[in-house]
Structure 1
Amino acid sequence: MKASSVALLAAVMAVAAVASTAVAKDYTVGGSYGWDTYVDYDKWAAGKTFIVGDTITFKYEPYHNVVEVPAETDYDGCVSTNPVSVHSGGNTTFELAAAGTRYFICSIPRHCLNGTMHVKVTTVPYSASAAAAAAAAADAGPSPAPLPSPPADEQQHRSNSASSPAAGPSSSAASTPRHRKQPAVAVAGLALAALVAMAA
């Protein structure tokens, strides 16, 4: 009897370990359009549920950058004089490691001020309801439509950059899962349920 209880407990712990992983998402900012001057990032972020453990990836041309700013006032005013971090290179990923709102802008002159190249991302703690909302949002909406046309300085950058690809980045990265651990409470709950079942 004791050996079967130990085997049952081992089986429950194995199931709990498998059940304790959940899919985290990597969102490509702007979807297939990436990080550029002609995308409405408020529309892109609307309806998305960003959960602790998810990542956001900025894909952009060399004439852009990604600047994380510390406060909403810096974000609203496109002020990059006191950045949290500054990135270039065309592919930048941030892990959303804590709940809260983070603010990102492009500090190239007029790219943020023209009303587009800024995005704020609000991250919520992991919960079953947040995961369900994120899954529903991923199934519901396409990437935002681009704005009518790029600003004149953007067109000049494009004509000066011979290495610029004609098409935006693929949105397949937005659906690429990776795993993270659920809170230990879920695992402890499964183990407790198994112990209660063994005692009965």
Structure 2
Amino acid sequence: MKTSSAALLAAVMAIAAAASTAVAKDYTVGGSYGWDTYVDYDKWTSGKTFIVGDTITFTYEPYHNVLEVPETDYDSCTANNAVSVHSGGNTTFELTAAGTRYFICSIPRHCLNGTMHVKVTTVPYSASAAAAAAAAGPSPAVAPLPAADEQHKSMSDSASNSPAAAPTAASSSAPRNRQQPAVAVAGLALAALVAMTA
């Protein structure tokens, strides 16, 4: 009986590990607007539950960048002590631990104008956090801030025609499998184990 219980416990643990991966999500920062000067990223993060195992992907024009910075640099929009610096138009970060991470664009005035900075707070994986993330469903469209800068737009058009516009950081932005049944299977296996040992 002890051997079969140990085998069942190992199976439950494997299923639970698979279940935590199955509900991981990939969030595109800013939704369909991406990483740019006219998006309110506080509104974009509002109502989202970021869980360990999720990823966030920044998609942006080549005249922007993404820096992960400490909180003090985030608050002052400075890049003096950047944790990492990325360019190329497509950058993905895996949220591997609970806590808050801070991101800015270091191009002059892009963070200081009140937009191109975002903080992402990640919570540990739990069934309740996964349920909250699933209940939130798809993100509503994020409306851009009023009055996009026309000069900024013309820079985008000319930059996209240059050879430097090709993305250099190739990261997959495909969403991870979001199948909820894996969580239910893990719960059923755990219930079976408890019933067998009782």
Q: Same fold (TM over 0.5)?
A: yes
Gaps of 5+ in 1: 166-172, 180-186
After superposition, give the CA deviation of every residue in 1:109-149 in whole Å (9 maximum; x if it has no partner): 1111111110000011111111111112234x412111123
> Highest CA radius of gyration, 1 or 2?
1
**Structure-2 separation of matches of 1:36 and 1:29:** 10
Match of 2:176 in 1: 177
**Structure-2 separation of matches of 1:162 and 1:16:** 48
**Which of 13, 18, 26 is the aligned partner of 2:15?**
18
**Structure-1 separation of matches of 2:9 and 2:107:** 55
- Match runs of 1:81-120 below 5 Å: 81-120=80-119
State the 1:161 CA deviation.
Answer: 1.8
The 1:153–1:69 alpha-carbon spacing in structure 2 relative to 1, beyond 3 Å, is farther
**Residues 8 and 193 of structure 2 are in contact (CA less than 8 Å); yes or no, is this contact kept in structure 1?**
no
Gaps of 5+ in 2: 166-172, 179-185
**Structure-2 separation of matches of 1:138 and 1:70:** 30
SS at match of 1:24: coil
**Structure-1 separation of matches of 2:135 and 2:197:** 39
**Structure-2 separation of matches of 1:74 and 1:18:** 41
How many aligned residue pairs are there? 179
State the 1:177 CA deviation.
Answer: 2.1
The 1:89–1:109 alpha-carbon spacing in structure 2 relative to 1, beyond 3 Å, is same
- Match runs of 1:39-58 below 5 Å: 39-58=39-58
State the 1:18 CA deviation.
Answer: 2.9
Q: TM-score, normalised by structure 2?
A: 0.77
**Residues 69 and 75 of structure 1 are in contact (CA less than 8 Å); yes or no, is this contact kept in structure 2?**
yes
